[in-house]
Amino acid sequence: MREVSESKAEYVVLAELICDLTRQCCIKEEKFAIEFNLTHPEVRLLKLFAFSKNYTIKELRDKLNISPGRITHIISSLEEKQLIQRVRDINDRRSIKIQLTSLTQPFIDNLLVSYERLHKGVSRYASGEDMKKILFSLGVLNRVFDEWK
């Protein structure tokens, strides 16, 4: 664990830790992308469907913080792989929802089980008390970032 020294301000250590965590998360995401024959952005998009059955293109773009052109490319690629589909909203024909195809839910379930297995394995390296601190700290960090937006 990095210590805050007199020569490094807390915000510098925070930046280093966040960079390290981001790098580790990217390595993990890349592992899953290769395992499931997807790109890293495709995995990020599909993981969102664990929380909701459908999204508008704007919702996906905002959640992933990517450009309209990039989200269109990812959606088109996943459509070609028959993992998602575009469906017109019956209440507003101008609106298009993105949802999983009927064959994709088992894939998403498998992806989530793989993530749970990975995190369970990682958590074995932390004591029960450390896990409580990690969960609390990540909750605080998420809240701080949400307020900072």
Whole-angstrom distance, CA of residue 70 vs CA of residue 57: 11
Q: What is the DSSP letter of 8?
A: S
Would you state the torsion angle of the CA atoms of residues 53, 57, 62, 65, taken in this order, to the nearest 10 degrees? 110
Q: Kindly report, residue by residue over 31-70, the tens digit of the pLDDT.
A: 888 888 899 899 999 989 988 889 999 999 999 999 999 9
* SS3 assignment, position 7: coil
User: Which token pair is 57?
Assistant: 């293109």
Q: Kindly report, residue by residue over 78-100, the tens digit of the pLDDT.
A: 999 999 999 988 888 788 999 99
Contact call for residues 65 and 45 (beta carbons, < 8 A): no
In the chain, where the domains are located: 104-149
Whole-angstrom distance, CA of residue 139 vs CA of residue 131: 12
- How far out from the chain centre does Cα 22 lie? 11
pLDDT at 10: 87
Contact call for residues 31 and 74 (beta carbons, < 8 A): no
Whole-angstrom distance, CA of residue 130 vs CA of residue 117: 19
Residue type for position 83: L
